[in-house]
Amino acid sequence: MGEVTLRVSEAEAAQVFHVVDQLSRWSEFCHLQYSRWAEANLRLTAEDRALLGQHAELRKARGWGHGFEQAFYVDATIAKATADASKAGLLSPAEVTAEKKILSHFALRLRPLLDAGREENLRFRTRLVQQREALAGTMSRLVKFSEHPGAVVIPVFLIPNPEPGNSGGGFNGGRLVLETQATPDPMPTLLHEVFHAVLAARSADLASAAAQVSGLDQQTLNEGIAYAFSPGILGANAEGLDELADGLAADVLRGKKPTDAYLRFKLYAMLLRPMLREALDKGEPLSAFLPRAVAKLKTLQPKP
């Protein structure tokens, strides 16, 4: 795919870890469709809940991207992933022992969900190959925008999504996770997360830019730009489809407040989308885009 290579996997360690991670609800960014599915289909036992609680405590202690992602979003079985994590020192011996027990416990419980998603995963992998040339152009634009000096290799892990009509993904610790389902289309989420992956090397620049705007943090700026790209630019067309605007309106109508992270991301995306579209069309790099974005956002700050 041009300057971006996606290494796609459906490995046991990654899939079981991802579902357990979401079920534990250790972060506000965990995807609740897995909990809803589990309550309806797994009939969680006291032991299940205790192990999920233990997993949540392990995750909270490290946070996003600091060991667990590197240990378990890998193309390996649970046994190999835990052995490799121990050898590499990614986790402490106690963490490795605890997590191996937790994931091994849930591996069999989650097998029906993971098996049911294999056909959808295969369809998406086939589609990636069929659309290679079209995607290569988009990827190249992102690499040029980010001013990345070389090729970008992104490990991608496909995870079945148990809730029709829902979607999800993430990029943490150098790993991209995509939850697959028939609808909605997973491709916009993939491209959103690829955007994060390509911009990962520019985190210091994003932090510096965000610090110039009162009330803005690096994560919100990063997500605002990524949402402006996908679904913001990719999900808007002349026929009136505008996934970003529709999603923001739906959040507001459901009563979400600006304190909601996803509502904030979409608000900033709406503000940044016109400038981002112009930058991508002109081949303007991030280093030129950020000062313009900061200047615009400053004009919207409340007067003292």
pLDDT band at 29 (very low <50, low <70, confident <90, very high): very high
Mean pLDDT of 16-45: 96
Q: What is the mean pLDDT of the chain?
A: 95
- For residues 235 and 226, give the distance between their C-alpha atoms in angstroms, rounded to a whole number: 12
- For residues 57 and 53, give the distance between their C-alpha atoms in angstroms, rounded to a whole number: 6
pLDDT at residue 1 in the model: 42
Mean pLDDT of 62-91: 98
- For residues 34 and 170, give the distance between their C-alpha atoms in angstroms, rounded to a whole number: 15
Among 175, 163, 207, residue whose Cα is nearest residue 81: 175
pLDDT at residue 149 in the model: 82
- For residues 256 and 173, give the distance between their C-alpha atoms in angstroms, rounded to a whole number: 29
pLDDT at residue 301 in the model: 79
Among 4, 287, 13, 273, residue whose Cα is nearest residue 159: 13
Residue 57 pLDDT more than 60?
A: yes
Mean pLDDT of 186-212: 96
Residue 111 pLDDT more than 80?
A: yes
pLDDT band at 238 (very low <50, low <70, confident <90, very high): low
- For residues 285 and 293, give the distance between their C-alpha atoms in angstroms, rounded to a whole number: 12
128-181 pLDDT tens trace: 999 999 898 899 899 999 998 888 999 999 999 999 899 999 999 999 999 999
Longest dimension (CA), the chain: 58
72 neighbors 103 (Cβ within 8 angstroms): yes
Residue 122 pLDDT more than 70?
A: yes
Residue 237 pLDDT more than 80?
A: no
Got the DSSP string for 72-122? HSSSS-HHHHHHHHHHHTSS-HHHHHHHHHHHHHHHHHTHHHHHHTHHHHH
Q: What angle do CA 194, 159, 235 make, to 5 degrees?
A: 45
- For residues 19 and 161, give the distance between their C-alpha atoms in angstroms, rounded to a whole number: 9
Name residues whose C-beta falls within 8 Å of residue 111's C-beta, 6 or more positions apart in sequence.
Answer: none
- For residues 175 and 75, give the distance between their C-alpha atoms in angstroms, rounded to a whole number: 11
Mean pLDDT of 26-40: 96
Residue 235 pLDDT more than 90?
A: no
